[in-house]
Chains A and B, each alone.
Chain A
Amino acid sequence: MSDAIASGAAGTTRASTALPVIEFRGVNFSYTGEPVLQEVSFEVLPGEFISAVGPNGGGKTTLLRLILGTARPEAGEVRVFGGAPERARGRVGYVPQYARFDPLFPVTVLDVVRMGRVGNFVVGPYRREDREAAEEALATVGLAELRRRPFSALSGGQRQRVLIARALATHPELLLLDEPTASVDRAATAKLYDLLVELARRLTILLVSHDTGVVSRFVSGVLCVNRTVSKHPVSLLTGEMLSELYGVDIALVRHEENL
């Protein structure tokens, strides 16, 4: 089994023979009886850049939690890198929304990024390789010169990039992002997508988003999430699909497409 994982992850080609990074098979999930996801089956292959879109409450966040192993399916199976999600966590970089954080927490940019390495030791300080990995990740997102700034002094877009750096500090093979552009202004959003496109060359990326129009210009595929999940290559994403997915929200989506 572990041989299969290793050989599958080594190749980052988009060939359909590659072992999927994420695999859902007939997954059901509900909160207190209310079904959130039903009969969900899809695969994400190595090297893909996928955006999960859908209305609020449609199950996007649940999808992330299932991939991270912080929620378990009621029926069906979720596999990440060919195994249980919990066991794949070391290979997955997770990027939450920056707005979740306490703006009063006294912490610098570099402190935050280093926390990506916190699982690498038991007692004492960070090791040299942890510090180097953090510096490198910070340089990757283009914020090396802000390393000593307080985290809360940065703009929303910068903070989001710091959180991406924190995830990158662990050298993940799969990057999961939860609404990375929420509460980020347009200029910063464009820069964030530039960064993600750059990262997508060497990582598999799944991001959750509701700004369909913007995202579809960058990603290789879209997961439409609304109780059920269907996967489409981005070229096939049509207005009808969006209106089916969002219902009355379609005007808003079209509006954002003009961005």
Chain B
Amino acid sequence: MDFLRDLLSFPFLQYALATGLLASIASGVVGSFITVRRIGYIAGAIAHTVLGGMGLARYLQRVLGWEFVTPLVGAVASALLSAIIIGVVTLYGREREDTVLSAVWSIGMAVGIFFISRTPGYNDDLMSYLFGNILMVRRGDLVLIAGLDALVVLVSFLFYYKLEAVCFDEEFARLRGVRVELYYILLLCLTALTIVILLLVVGIVMVIALLALPAAAAAYLTRRLWHTMIVASALSGLLMTAGLALSYKPNLPAGATIIILSGAVYLAVVGSRPLWPKRRAQAPRK
């Protein structure tokens, strides 16, 4: 109840809730694509490279005086860059995919830690992006988040059927003249932008859970991809609100609370599956 009362009086709490709800929309939509395409681990790699972009941006800001390069700008740039690198390498490269992802993942983080250590002044707030701090979101961040959110949802909406077909059967889509590689990289870029939105809420380390768990639970409950997206977004919104409310009074970490709740909901849905009278689940043979 303290949460509700304070929500009405404190802007920081309003920003936090708005961030959570906006993030839920992009997360539900893109998370559903990621879940059905089974590229959660790629999302994980993209998320971790973001620290590199943030660290470099802070370095450019402080040491070289490039004021406009805020850590969030650095996050957007590095997320998109790593999405494109991972996309191109996994599509055209002959390397082992997991090696490439591990390399991008850890080198991105290393670059971040390196630049943060070389930047004078107080930089611990950057390390807080590792675990997120939704209560630190400011008005300016909220504008950027709303913009990214609108962009992600609009692009997903415009290319929904293309992305659906590419996720369901890439080979067939290619034979039908769809430029599969382009849409795959587009999907990774949407993933990158969604990760930037989400990392303000739950931080780099826990982003994957928020992308994967509500969408995975929703996929069990629905029979069409866009239904999955709606349910996943609603579920995320509920989880964000509940996590924020539950963590507020006892002063728990909000991001971690949201993730633990998500995990519980996912387990409850998967665990109760055998009890449903639904569709005949059939594993692929061969």
Contact = CB atoms under 8 A, between A and B. Distances in A.
Given A118-B176, A119-B176, A103 B168 contact: no
Interface string A96-117: 1101111111111001101111
Interface string B218-235: 011011110110000000
Contact of A152 (B172, B176, B222, B281): B281
Contact of B177 (A70, A89, A114): A89
A124 B165 CA distance: 13
Contacts, number: 97
B12 to A, nearest CB: 38
Contacts of B228: 106
B249 interface: no
A107 B284 contact: no
A99 B164 CA distance: 19
Contacts of A60: none
Interface residues on B, range: 35 or more
Interface string B46-62: 00000000000000000
Contacts of A111: 164, 224-225
B279 interface: yes
Given A115-B164, A115-B165, A102 B158 contact: no
Nearest to A166: B172
Contact of A106 (B158, B222, B282): B222
A18 interface: no
The winner among B160, B177, B223 for most chain A CB atoms within 10 A is B223
A39 to B, nearest CB: 27
A118 B171 CA distance: 12
Nearest to A115: B165
**A contact face: mostly helix, strand, loop, or mixed:** mixed
A33 interface: no
B34 to A, nearest CB: 13
Contact of B161 (A100, A105, A125, A183): A125
Given A107-B225, A123-B158, A182-B286, A115 B175 contact: no
B172 A150 contact: no
The winner among B36, B280, B284 for most chain A CB atoms within 10 A is B284
A88 B284 CA distance: 31
Contact of A99 (B161, B223, B285): B285
A118 B284 contact: no
Contact of B284 (A103, A116, A117, A124): A103
Contact of A102 (B161, B171, B220, B284): B284
B225 to A, nearest CB: 5
B224 A101 contact: no
B114 interface: no
Contacts of B165: 115, 118
B279 A150 contact: yes
Nearest to B35: A104
Nearest to B177: A119
A170 B178 CA distance: 14
Interface string B199-243: 000000000000000000001101111011000000000000000
Given A94-B172, A101-B169, A118-B178, A152 B282 contact: yes
Interface in B139-186: 158-162, 164-165, 167-169, 171-178
A21 to B, nearest CB: 16
B64 interface: no
Contact of B168 (A70, A90, A99, A107): A107
Given A96-B172, A118-B161, 19 more contacts: A90-B177, A96-B171, A97-B286, A99-B284, A99-B286, A101-B169, A101-B284, A102-B36, A104-B36, A106-B227, A107-B224, A114-B161, A115-B164, A115-B172, A115-B176, A118-B173, A123-B158, A152-B281, A182-B286
Interface of A: 68, 70, 89-90, 92, 94, 96-97, 99-108, 111-112, 114-119, 123-126, 150, 152-153, 166, 170, 182-183
27 contacts: A70-B171, A96-B169, A96-B172, A97-B286, A99-B285, A101-B168, A101-B169, A103-B283, A103-B284, A105-B167, A106-B36, A107-B223, A107-B225, A111-B164, A111-B225, A115-B161, A115-B164, A115-B165, A115-B172, A118-B162, A118-B173, A119-B178, A123-B159, A126-B161, A152-B279, A152-B280, A152-B282
